[in-house]
Amino acid sequence: MSHIRNFSIIAHIDHGKTTLTDRLLRLTGTVSERELHERMMDSNPIEQERGITIKMAPVRMEYKGATLNLIDTPGHVDFGYEVSRSLAACEGVLLVIDTTQGVQAQTLSNYEKAKALGLKIIPVLNKIDLPAADVEGTMLECMETFGFNESDFALVSAKSGLGVEKLLDKIIEDIPPAPIANDRPLRALVMTSKYDTHKGVIAYVRVVEGTLDKHTKLRTMSGTASFTPVEVGFFNPQMQPMVRLSAGEVGYIATGLKDIHQVKVGDTLTLARASAEVQPLPGFKEPQPMVYMEVYPIEGDDYPLLQDAVDKLSLHDAALDFAGTHSQALGNGLRMGFLGILHAEIVLERLQREFNLDLIATAPSVPYEITLTDGQKQLIHSPAQMPDPSLIREIHEPITKTLIFAPEKYVGPLMKWIRERRGELLTVNPVGTRTKLEYRLPLAELITDFHDTLKSISSGFASMEYQVVGYEPVDAVKVTIMINKEEVEALSIIAPRDQAEMRGREIVTKLKEVVPRQLFEVPIQAAIGGAIIARETIKAYRKDVTAKLYGGDVTRRQKLLKKQAKGKKKMKQIGKVELNQDTFLAVLKR
């Protein structure tokens, strides 16, 4: 029997995955007390700062003669595809549940992913050190929801270490050993990859069958890339070079290849000389960008810097999609595709922080599939690309299946609100003291302030999870926004026809609050197909501010104007008007 156990830790966000990983690293002596800092698997500074895990992180531990390969996974829905990939490399999972919170939306969706792959699931009730912990209630809820028995559970405090040794024994006992298959032709599954300037593309792999060492010439099964590894090894959690990787093991192969797209996630690596009979392992669906934004440098001259920065980031991030674009109002920029809003936020933050770029990002848009009257189809990624209405036969928008968990008393208000967001209720089921709601909901509704509103209606108690399931027809129109009589495509939106007028009015009202005053009166208008549906006017700026000074003191007046000019930093000139990032965020708030 193999001594290898491969498992993932899955949980709803903040239920303690990373803290439990830290604890396991310490107990197994993988990382010494001295080296360990809090949440050390979150290696990226943004992960550390925000307290979230973005990228899966494998680590090998030795315990009582067994080799344990653990894969820490991200909890946020944008990075849900990383969870599926981690699971493909495992025989079991620890399903962590915070006993002060109970079962949440992602507890359920992660459970279902693990169940579908036939993995052994160990439910781990965490945070039992806290006075607010309801261990018994959470256990009952899990038994009822998932059908566990009392003996299945591990009770732990990841923070204090209570119960974690027992959990380690349970892992060795309950999780099936990795199958032994060293004598078969090599097949290694690529779980994820990253880029290293010296070692090239580094593939994170699970060796499913066969063995390899750094002298073995390899090739990808989906493409044409072949290479002799620069290095092979495992994670402890840093990269630790080794002579050989064998069947059942999780580790890395530094390929020396220069393009991250040459080693696709989900691809199978095999021997360069493998016979045609070797079949690729079942791969993964490539993650599709579903949220698009246009990004413009505030200083037009910075465009080449922006291009260069995004090129660099995309080396590490195969899910990032981008193409050059030009807007009449904003100049040269990039249209960027992201997995979701959090992914977008993180990338934009890195561009500003690591590359010192001042940027304006437009409101996010989902992709729309447009069928033209002549039968041609096109996928558009921003309102600016919307063809003339007379040329459109049909529009399809992305649809999600959305899961919401909420305490009973918030269900009424939530249902009312989600109906306004075009949600179609599919099922309602009680889970313990809470209710599980399943919706069919357009993605466009989710990428605005949906999550914030969900939290505010439910006083923070509701949780959600979604998955894009396809495209469906929508009767939508473009709402054009004009500032100072000039169309600002970057502020325009695509909205369902029956909401378009209301949305246009909302945006104009919001813009009136945030568009900085100018030296002259500025009209703000919304139009649908050439007809103006809303208008507001922003009064001239200088007149107003200096009016209080009753004309007198010239130097004082100049000082005041200078002070205001300073406050106007990071403005983007649009025609004769200057706008800042708040203007573009205003479109999001409903």
What residues make contact with Mg ion under the rule CB under 5 A?
Answer: 17-18, 53
Q: Which two tokens stand for residue 251?
A: 């580790």
The three-state secondary structure class of 577 is: strand
Element (H, E) at 145: helix 135-146
Instruction: Indicate the residue among 127 and 381 with the shorter CB distance to ligand GDP.
Output: 127
Q: Of the two residues 31 and 500, which places its CB atom closer to Mg ion in the complex? A: 31
Task: Return all residues near 287 (Cβ < 8 A) that are at least 6 apart.
Answer: 81, 319, 339
Smallest distance, Å, CB 90 to ligand GDP?
17
Q: Which does 157 bind (CB under 5 to 8 A by kind): ligand GDP, Mg ion, none?
A: ligand GDP
* Residue 10 or 230 having the CB closest to ligand GDP: 10
Q: Where on the chain is the footprint of ligand GDP (CB under 6 A)? A: 11, 13-19, 39, 51, 53, 75, 126-127, 129-130, 157-159
Per-position DSSP letters for 484-513, written without gaps between them? TTEE-GGG-EEEEHHHHHHHHHHHHHHHHH
Shortest CB 176 distance to ligand GDP, Å = 24
Burial class (CB in 10 A: 0-12, 13-18, 19+), 85: buried
Q: Which is nearer to Mg ion, 74 or 442 (CB)?
A: 74
E strand residue ranges, 137-186: 154-155
Residue 163 or 248: which CB sits closer to ligand GDP? 163
Neighbours of 32 (CB within 10 A): 9
**What residue 517 binds from Mg ion, ligand GDP, none (CB within 5 to 8 A, per partner kind)?**
none
**Shortest reach from residue 9's CB to ligand GDP, in Å:** 8
> Using DSSP, how many helices (H) and how many strands (E) does the chain show?
15, 33
Torsion of CA 394, 400, 404, 410, to 10 degrees: -10
Partner that binds at residue 549, options ligand GDP, Mg ion, none, CB closer than 5 to 8 Å by kind: none
CB of 13 to ligand GDP, least distance (A): 5
> Could you tell me which residues are beta bridge partners of residue 577?
574
Q: What is the 3-state secondary structure (H, E, C) of 262-325?
A: HCCCCCEEEECCCCCCCCCCCCCCCCCCCEEEEEEECCHHHHHHHHHHHHHHHHHCCCCEEEEE
Residue 339 CB, nearest approach to Mg ion (Å): 17
Q: Which does 130 bind (CB under 5 to 8 A by kind): Mg ion, ligand GDP, none?
A: ligand GDP
Toward Mg ion, which CB reaches closer, 9 or 447? 9
Q: How far is the CB of 115 from ligand GDP (least distance, A)?
A: 20
Residue 114 or 203 having the CB closest to ligand GDP: 114
369 binds, among ligand GDP, Mg ion, none (CB under 5 to 8 A by kind): none
> Among 332, 331, 328, 345, which residue's Cα sits nearest to residue 291?
345
- The option from Mg ion, ligand GDP, none interacting with 127 (CB < 5 to 8 A, set by class) reads ligand GDP
Identity of the residue, 135 or 457, whose beta carbon is nearer to ligand GDP in the bound complex: 135
Minimum CB distance to Mg ion, residue 489 (Å): 39
CB of 46 to Mg ion, least distance (A): 13
Dig out the tokens for 551 from the structure: 């004309």
The site partner of 421 among Mg ion, ligand GDP, none (C-beta below 5 to 8 Å per kind) is: none
Partner touching 126 among Mg ion, ligand GDP, none, CB below 5 to 8 Å by kind: ligand GDP
Q: Using alpha carbons, select from 255, 189, 203 the residue that is nearest to residue 225.
A: 255
Between residues 9 and 175, which has the closer beta carbon with respect to ligand GDP? 9
* Alpha-carbon gap, residue 114 to 148, rounded angstroms: 14
Shortest CB 159 distance to ligand GDP, Å: 3
Q: Is the dihedral of CA 495, 498, 503, 509 positive or negative?
A: positive
> Which one of ligand GDP, Mg ion, none interacts with residue 487, CB within 5 to 8 A by kind?
none
